[in-house]
Structure 1
Amino acid sequence: MADARFVSHLNIADGQRPENITLEPDGGAVVTFAYSRQIARIAPDGRVRVLATLPAPSAGAVTPALTSPFLGGVVRAQDGTLYFLYATGTGDLTGLWRLRPGGEPERIAALPADALPNGLALDQRTGLLYAADSVLGTVWRVPAGGGTPVKWATAPELAPAGFLGANGIKIHNGAAWVTNLDKGTVLRIPITGRGAAGPVQTRATGLVNIDDFDFTGPGNTLLAAINADNKVVLVRPNGHTTVLTAADGLQGPTSVAVRGGTAYIASAAYFTNEDPNLLAVRITSGR
């Protein structure tokens, strides 16, 4: 991969720790700031604009596994609508939320109070959203119009082993691909002709602390953020290689988004507490 460049250095004092990222057509990016409950846009020149702040839960609420309210995965539909996941440990706020251009955030699907919805993927072909639940070891499915979530996939491979299980998720080549942070795996769950979940297939192992990821092209090679280990790895069907480290600017990478030949990596600095940022890097191999 080519040398990384900083798109933006974020303000840790303002709680600007990016958990997840989705890209815009003009080269901007939308991120979730996990513990400040904010959705924000990072312009191509690095300027940050908060788009919305989610309501705080009632006093005494405890979010499963993380304690504090947690804003997780975010995706963008072609019309500019943003969908994102919020977990608070309360039944009135936890679930799938939507923000239409110029509108206000609204919850469109409730998830259980004991859930921790984390990664989010949109199947543009069907208009269905898939949410990876890190505590309940479940992939939930919800129509983009909202409604009652369906337990699309539940399996031991998705469950946590001490902290967080199913984490990042993408829809790719007829399947939902999911990472498991505790178990260090990349999983492939086929989407059958009727839309059901097929048997879980383990496609990569040995990646403990794996967070979000994205594919580098039409094949099954992907780039994955290894959060606590402060690196990004290139995962091929025959193994994986570290391609970015702290020397490139990583500060606890949480998420990856690829467009064309460029990968964008968000770092939340959860463990370093120094410089949350957004990096851009040209992909020169592994496609």
Structure 2
Amino acid sequence: MKKKLATIAGAATAVAVVTLAAVTVAPASAGTAPVVKTRIAAHFDLAQGQMPENIALDPNGTAYVTFAAGRQVAAVTPAGRTRVLATLPAPADGGVNTPVLGFALTTGIARAHDGTLYFLYASGTEDLTGLWRLRPGGAPHRIAALPAGGLPNGLALDERRGVLYIADSVLGTIFTVPAAGGEPTTWSSAAELAPAGFLGANGLKIHDCALWVTNLDKGTVLRIPFLPGNGPGPVRTRATNLVGIDDFAFTGNGDEILAALNAPNTVVRIGGNGSVSTVLTAADGLQNPTSVALRRDTAYVPSAAYTTATDPNLLLARLPHNR
């Protein structure tokens, strides 16, 4: 595990180096927004690879997270109790052929209204890499194979149409897969999704008749409208200069989002006009935040501690003026 943690730390350090080279930091993040209250809801076991990479919520406030290096999916109750729901099989080669990172990891997660969990696994092998499903009380199984040479990362579920959208950070591609499972289809491989030395397309959300995507290397938030028939329209850049941007959530206030900036150790609020203000920092307990989920006025922020290597955790922040 020590060797694995060193590999993860080296990879995450590369995130910081590459993104700092690729984008310019916005001056002073354009301000700081007040937070009413923050607390650490759960601390995770770094030695066991419990580095939360992505999050989905149920209506009662239970958080479902993927533990990247642990190859696990877990539930964290509102009281802060953590229960591992599934551990995925390790690849025969130990994951050394996983592109860029060199270790197998669970990444994006989405929850359907019936409690079914969908999540992504990147192993560098054809037999395991892909989209997995876990029904309540069941066992996990793969419902779609994805390219072993890629790194499936961000995941968004369009439950009304029965489609999942998958961002591959290495291939710079967004795939679609039916919620019932099946063959993946390339939805977009626009140039704006490509990496610039490390990881490209990352977080995904469906909002306002469009798919919104972050590009980690380029520090951008992108909007791709759905055309008739649900094909992709032209890519529009909605925000820039966001060093180390990972996944994000819409606040309910128009196009405003909260985004996790991994290497800078911050969560920022990005207005519909692209303005940026800092909401949370390391002083609040962030340890390389990876994603954000919102339940009413509370933000749930998982921190993976990839480079801090101190305290992977789940932070809750009560935000003012949030719907």
Which TM-score band (shorter chain)? over 0.9
For 2:175, the equivalent position in structure 1 comes to: 140
Structure 2: distance between partners of 1:12 and 1:37:
13
Structure 1: distance between partners of 2:162 and 2:285:
36
CA offsets, 1:153-191, max 9 Å, x none?
111100000100000000111111000000000000111
Q: How big is the shift at 1:208?
A: 1.9
Q: Does structure 1 residue 190 correspond to structure 2 residue 225?
A: yes
Q: How big is the shift at 1:286?
A: 6.1
Structure 2: distance between partners of 1:60 and 1:245:
34
Superposition map of 1:49-60 within 5 A: 49-59=83-93
Q: Does structure 1 residue 222 correspond to structure 2 residue 257?
A: yes
| Aligned partner of 1:256 among 259, 267, 292 | 292
Q: How big is the shift at 1:261?
A: 1.4
For 2:271, the equivalent position in structure 1 comes to: 236
Structure 2: distance between partners of 1:286 and 1:236:
13
For 1:104, the equivalent position in structure 2 comes to: 139
| Aligned partner of 2:59 among 13, 20, 25 | 25
Contact 2:225 2:232 in 1 (8 A): yes
Q: Does structure 1 residue 65 correspond to structure 2 residue 97?
A: no
For 2:19, the equivalent position in structure 1 comes to: none
| Aligned partner of 2:125 among 90, 99, 113 | 90
SS at match of 1:98: strand
Percent identity, please. 64
CA offsets, 1:121-151, max 9 Å, x none?
0012212100110000001101100001110
Q: How big is the shift at 1:218?
A: 4.8
SS at match of 2:290: strand
Structure 2: distance between partners of 1:266 and 1:126:
29
For 2:151, the equivalent position in structure 1 comes to: 116
Contact 1:221 1:286 in 2 (8 A): no
> Which amino acid in structure 2 is aligned with residue 243 of structure 1?
V
Contact 1:118 1:132 in 2 (8 A): yes
> Which amino acid in structure 2 is aligned with residue 45 of structure 1?
A
For 1:265, the equivalent position in structure 2 comes to: 301
Compared with structure 1, are the counterparts of its residues 207 and 15 closer, same or farther at alpha carbon in structure 2 (3 Å cutoff)?
same
| Aligned partner of 2:78 among 18, 27, 44 | 44
Structure 2: distance between partners of 1:116 and 1:217:
30
SS at match of 1:80: coil
CA offsets, 1:88-114, max 9 Å, x none?
111111110000111111100011110
Superposition map of 1:143-162 within 5 A: 143-162=178-197
* TM-score where L is the length of structure 2: 0.87
For 2:49, the equivalent position in structure 1 comes to: 15
SS at match of 1:194: coil
Q: Which has the higher strand share?
A: 1
Compared with structure 1, are the counterparts of its residues 17 and 60 closer, same or farther at alpha carbon in structure 2 (3 Å cutoff)?
closer
Contact 1:71 1:84 in 2 (8 A): yes
For 1:76, the equivalent position in structure 2 comes to: 111
* TM-score where L is the length of structure 1: 0.98
Q: How big is the shift at 1:35?
A: 0.9
Contact 1:2 1:281 in 2 (8 A): yes
Q: How big is the shift at 1:60?
A: 5.8
For 1:245, the equivalent position in structure 2 comes to: 281
For 2:319, the equivalent position in structure 1 comes to: 283
Moved more, 120-129 or 165-174: 120-129
Structure 1: distance between partners of 2:52 and 2:236:
30
How many residue pairs match? The answer is 287
By relative contact order (CA 8 Å, sep 6+), the higher-ranking structure is: 2
Contact 1:28 1:44 in 2 (8 A): yes
> Which amino acid in structure 1 is aligned with residue 163 of structure 2?
L
For 2:32, the equivalent position in structure 1 comes to: none
Contact 2:176 2:187 in 1 (8 A): yes
Contact 1:234 1:286 in 2 (8 A): no
Structure 1: distance between partners of 2:149 and 2:48:
28
- 4+ runs of 1 displaced by more than 4 Å? none
SS at match of 1:41: strand
Contact 2:243 2:263 in 1 (8 A): no
For 2:212, the equivalent position in structure 1 comes to: 177
Structure 2: distance between partners of 1:174 and 1:10:
36
> Which amino acid in structure 2 is aligned with residue 38 of structure 1?
Q
SS at match of 1:4: strand
